[in-house]
Structure 1
Amino acid sequence: MRARLVGSLALIALVFGGAAPVVAQDRAGLTADLDTILSAPALAGADVGLVVRTADGQTVYSRDAGRRQQPASNAKLVTSVAALDVLGPDYRFETTVHTTGRRHGPVQDGDLYLRGTGDPTMLAADYDALAKQVADQGIRFVSGRLVADDTWFDDVRLGVSWAWDDEPFYYDAQVSALTAAPDTDYDAGSIIVRVQPGANGKAKVTTEPPTDYVTIANTAVTGPAGSANTISVDRVHGANTFTVTGSIPVNGAATSEWMAVWEPTGYAAALFRAALGRHGVRVLGPTTRGAVPTAGAKVATRRSMPLRELLVPFLKLSNNLHAEILVKAMGRATKNQGTWSAGLAAVAGRLPAYGVDPARLSLRDGSGLSRMDQISPDQLASLLGAARGRPWFPEWYEALPIAGKTDRLVGGTLRNRMKGTAAEGRVHAKTGSLTGVSSLSGYATTADGQVLVFSLVTNNAVGVNLKAMEDTVAIRLAQEGSAAARTATSVPDLEGQTSDVECSWVKAC
């Protein structure tokens, strides 16, 4: 994966400090062009903040950049930087299995414990591998219970001020120290509900991974060839009943919806119990929750990829659960408390080293889902500028979405933006979207080889294509120093709806 993400060595050298020293330049043309872009009539009434700085911190352009705004997923810039400092690039999550009591041949007296520390990359196959480790030790019967230990984190599952109507969907899934993802996007706490044309007029519904932890209430039908696909998947609040309604044409492609489960600890435990059964290990007692006793003996272990590699799906695909799990992991690492409050205190403690005063912002979660998050473009730009001096910066920079690069794990949320422009491959930036909110912050390497740090955050937008505005700004930054930059910039047409959620969250862009 890492090999595929390495860009031009020359470009990387520029961004990582290999460029010639920045010299004073006449940026009057750039200033005029940015003013023109931000004067678009569609932006009237919106709160737009933009700052552009050189790599050595000189301000090139600033407009309302000190005003705090909701950052949406630009909050992940703060979370990822703090996690690299607090946990370290080599940090790994560990999932373990423990026994209590004595062994009598194939019979294990006492309970079997499954203990998690928040690993968001655990798949059904990983729980199967843990079960195999247990079976390989000769255990065939466990006389007691299967106990799920999720005590590494607290049991507060959802963040402050998260929207209730997003709760059934995977990008708003619940946070637990024991969880599972359905595929290698690593959307922890989720399953995929897949709907296909079926026989006898009904639609066929399956889940990935297959599990009896959820119930499917299916009233969907198979419609005539060429008819509209009206399939809808929802989840009953407080339960794991997924309702599937609507119609799918007989010749239609399968519809897949990524959905959040209710109580991911039980989901992980169910996958593990099923895997034990496949490997010939029978647990006689029920599944419960509890902490591993001090005397528990470890019989199986699975370690995650290091944080330096997790950065790729985290930042490229704007994975909310990765952010929240990292916040709670930081709380555990610094205060032995796997809570949002302890983790956010750890984040705040790192910000002064990046020129950011934590008393002048508000972060209530790690992903930017909270409407109570407040940070200014100036503060984001300070973070971005200071990050360039960190030893882990090359990998973090490459983990940011890259404009116009179509591979999902290279271009990420920018893969379908700015293709064929001066910004393609030269803008590495984090996107962000909520209803009325859009943000783009990162780095642009100009045509004359300079690195510009920028942060653009817009709030209170109605009926505006904010992504088009952001792209126009980023392209203009990448053009700086070229003949194209000397061409007059016109006011862009921004009529249209702003995105309500990150494009990666709907799996379609």
Structure 2
Amino acid sequence: MTHAGVLSRSVRWAMALALTSATAAAQSTPPRRIAEVMARPEFAHASWGMEFYDLQSGKTIFALNRDRLFVPGSTTKVVTMATALEVLGPDHRFRTKVFRTGPVVGGVVQGDLVLVASGDPNLSGRARPGEQYAFIDQDHSYGGQPLPDDPLTVIKAMAAQVAARGIRAVTGQVLVDASLFAEGARELGTRVTLSPLVINDNVIDLVVRPGATAGTAATVTVSPATPYLTVHATVTTTDSGGTPALRMVEDSTNRDQRTLVITGSVPRGAPSNPRWVIPAPSRFGEIVLAAALRDVGVTAIPRLASRAIDATALRAHYADSLMVAEHVSLPLIAEARVLLKTSQNLHASNFPLILGALEARQAGPREASRTGFDIARDLMQRHGLDLDGAVQGDGAGGDAYFSPAFMTRFLEMVWKRPYAAAFKKALPTLGVDGTLAAIQKDSPGAGKVFAKTGTFSSYDPLNRRMIVHGKGLAGYFTTKGGREIAFALYVNNVAANVPDPTVLAGQALGEIASIAWESLR
């Protein structure tokens, strides 16, 4: 049988499958060009689900398996970010404060300085004029390059505020109260440490720049450079086209002064960033804030390692009259641009913890058992969403299942909110920026489709290849005729003998979205 014959049979199968679903009577099948993408041999073992939904009429345009649950990957972040915007409000600003626990006598604090972690995800150098946070398409948490700004900008600014109050010494220590929620778990994707204190996204960047010629030494730049981590690097440059071979070993006896040894080789070409995860962000905060204070002339030491934090006792000092520094974040809607464009796992994983903790503090012990997912469920129920089409165990998408119909209805809910236009703009743009920067760059839909990507994959030892358990794309576009469309696309279990099946699946989803934009009027 010819390849064309196989393709035709696959197309007929895909269309028949849609017609036999429980809800097929109310929907049309995917157009031929979309069905042809789905029927490519690389997707022979994959499962597809999708829905394209007209937001004005409230009707499905076309769909396939729209009520079945799929592994959504980071399209989950649409739900996480919108839930945070609904609960906290798009204008919410995190306030990170530093308090003194005793009087100031002759410029000397008779007690401690306490930084109270608020959950602000952007204690960094991201802020820009116009109340925007900067981002790089491949975030440094995923091995991309760091922003050029000093990642300790916020910490240094708070230290300067302390000095501006005439404080020149502290008899006690510099403490961090990170009791908003428990610190120490690792998020499921990049394995970065969850904490209510987030400085430089809780990583230290290690920028490895190859030499000009093979055999020369590569340089390693540490950012931020702090007393917390010392790096010893011996890395050589090899010919371009080779494979990086770096080995990173922590060689530390003092847990507050870590030593990292980097050896190996990198090929000529662009710099890389095998960033190092900060294991205890609150401890890191104590060390870098004490160092920043010393840099502005305030004599201070970080908390002694033998001293435990008593957050309940410290809260007695959290009064405006005792506040010596404060950082106020940009509005929460500005954070949406970072979280959604770059698919920032730490930020997304923190939000359910932040929401649950804030509610517990406001409601008291009676609500202590509730979590951020209880809050999300309440929101979904109020808006009449079908919760049987949603399963969520983390904020980033490492533990979730969604149906295409649930996701499009969730997007419909967002579209009716005052922040809808800003939310749409915060999503990656097909072929332009964020995690869609390299997807369908030359397609008709490039620059017209705004959608969150999602990927969940693992290694298959049997076949020595990667399998894509879930690849997703969910968002919006406006047709040439002015119709506003919400859509959700999922392909699960892509097992194909290609160098990177995640790229294959991602390009296919982007192609389908572009075809839909091009075809719908």
Q: TM-score interval w.r.t. the shorter chain?
A: 0.7 to 0.9
**Deviates further, 251-260 or 54-63:** 251-260
CA-CA distance at 1:236 after TM superposition: 4.8
Partner of 1:401: 428
The answer as to whether partners of 1:323 and 1:366 remain within 8 angstroms in 2 is yes
Q: Does 1:315 align with 2:335?
A: no
Partner of 2:244: 230
CA-CA distance at 1:134 after TM superposition: 0.8
CA-CA distance at 1:327 after TM superposition: 1.7
Deviations 1:297-353 (A, max 9, x none): 211100111101111111111111121222222113323299996111111111124
Query: Quick one: distance in 2 between partners of 1:235 and 1:98?
Result: 38
What SS class does the counterpart of residue 316 from structure 2 fall into?
coil
Spell out the pairing of 1:76-475 with structure 2 (5 A cutoff).
Answer: 76-123=77-124, 124-159=152-187, 162=188, 171-181=190-200, 188-196=201-209, 203-218=218-233, 220-223=234-237, 228=242, 230-232=244-246, 234=248, 236=250, 241-248=259-266, 254-284=271-301, 286-287=303-304, 289-291=309-311, 292-296=314-318, 297-336=322-361, 342-370=371-399, 373-405=400-432, 411-435=433-457, 436=468, 437-463=470-496, 464=501, 465-475=504-514
User: Quick one: structure 1 residues 142 and 481, their matched pair in 2 at CA, closer, same or farther if it must change by over 3 Å?
Assistant: closer
Normalising by structure 1, what TM-score? 0.78
User: Quick one: structure 1 residues 129 and 367, their matched pair in 2 at CA, closer, same or farther if it must change by over 3 Å?
Assistant: same
User: Quick one: structure 1 residues 224 and 33, their matched pair in 2 at CA, closer, same or farther if it must change by over 3 Å?
Assistant: closer
Paired AA for residue 58 in structure 2: G
The answer as to whether partners of 1:216 and 1:242 remain within 8 angstroms in 2 is yes
Partner of 2:36: 36
**Deviates further, 340-349 or 208-217:** 340-349
Paired AA for residue 246 in structure 2: S
The answer as to whether partners of 1:447 and 1:480 remain within 8 angstroms in 2 is no
CA-CA distance at 1:41 after TM superposition: 2.5
User: Quick one: structure 1 residues 282 and 231, their matched pair in 2 at CA, closer, same or farther if it must change by over 3 Å?
Assistant: farther
Paired AA for residue 213 in structure 1: Y
Between Structure 1 and Structure 2, how many residues are aligned? 433
**Deviates further, 428-437 or 332-341:** 332-341
Paired AA for residue 478 in structure 2: T
Paired AA for residue 195 in structure 2: S
Paired AA for residue 467 in structure 1: G
Paired AA for residue 434 in structure 1: F
Paired AA for residue 349 in structure 1: D
CA-CA distance at 1:266 after TM superposition: 1.4
Query: Quick one: distance in 2 between partners of 1:227 and 1:53?
Result: 45
User: Quick one: structure 1 residues 31 and 355, their matched pair in 2 at CA, closer, same or farther if it must change by over 3 Å?
Assistant: farther
Query: Quick one: distance in 2 between partners of 1:137 and 1:392?
Result: 38
The answer as to whether partners of 2:68 and 2:403 remain within 8 angstroms in 1 is yes
Q: State percent identity of aligned pairs.
A: 29
Paired AA for residue 433 in structure 1: T
User: Quick one: structure 1 residues 229 and 139, their matched pair in 2 at CA, closer, same or farther if it must change by over 3 Å?
Assistant: farther
The answer as to whether partners of 2:29 and 2:63 remain within 8 angstroms in 1 is no
Partner of 2:136: none
Query: Quick one: distance in 2 between partners of 1:237 and 1:319?
Result: 29
**Deviates further, 382-391 or 29-38:** 29-38
User: Quick one: structure 1 residues 120 and 88, their matched pair in 2 at CA, closer, same or farther if it must change by over 3 Å?
Assistant: same
Partner of 1:488: none
What SS class does the counterpart of residue 96 from structure 2 fall into?
strand
User: Quick one: structure 1 residues 236 and 52, their matched pair in 2 at CA, closer, same or farther if it must change by over 3 Å?
Assistant: farther
Structure 1 unaligned spans of 5+: 1-26, 182-187, 406-410, 483-509
What SS class does the counterpart of residue 71 from structure 2 fall into?
coil
CA-CA distance at 1:35 after TM superposition: 2.7
What SS class does the counterpart of residue 297 from structure 2 fall into?
coil
Deviations 1:447-506 (A, max 9, x none): 333222211112211124212221221111111257xxxxxxxxxxxxxxxxxxxxxxxx
The answer as to whether partners of 2:286 and 2:303 remain within 8 angstroms in 1 is no
Query: Quick one: distance in 1 between partners of 2:261 and 2:285?
Result: 21
Query: Quick one: distance in 2 between partners of 1:35 and 1:263?
Result: 49
Deviations 1:95-153 (A, max 9, x none): 11111122220221111111111111112111001111111112111111211110112
What SS class does the counterpart of residue 198 from structure 2 fall into?
coil
Paired AA for residue 48 in structure 1: W
User: Quick one: structure 1 residues 422 and 229, their matched pair in 2 at CA, closer, same or farther if it must change by over 3 Å?
Assistant: closer
CA-CA distance at 1:285 after TM superposition: 6.3
The answer as to whether partners of 1:30 and 1:480 remain within 8 angstroms in 2 is no
CA-CA distance at 1:270 after TM superposition: 1.7
Normalising by structure 2, what TM-score? 0.76
The answer as to whether partners of 1:448 and 1:480 remain within 8 angstroms in 2 is no
Structure 2 unaligned spans of 5+: 1-26, 125-151, 458-467
Query: Quick one: distance in 2 between partners of 1:221 and 1:467?
Result: 34
User: Quick one: structure 1 residues 72 and 215, their matched pair in 2 at CA, closer, same or farther if it must change by over 3 Å?
Assistant: same
Query: Quick one: distance in 2 between partners of 1:81 and 1:351?
Result: 11
CA-CA distance at 1:404 after TM superposition: 2.1
User: Quick one: structure 1 residues 353 and 232, their matched pair in 2 at CA, closer, same or farther if it must change by over 3 Å?
Assistant: farther
Query: Quick one: distance in 2 between partners of 1:361 and 1:253?
Result: 41
Paired AA for residue 38 in structure 2: L
The answer as to whether partners of 1:119 and 1:179 remain within 8 angstroms in 2 is yes
CA-CA distance at 1:74 after TM superposition: 0.5
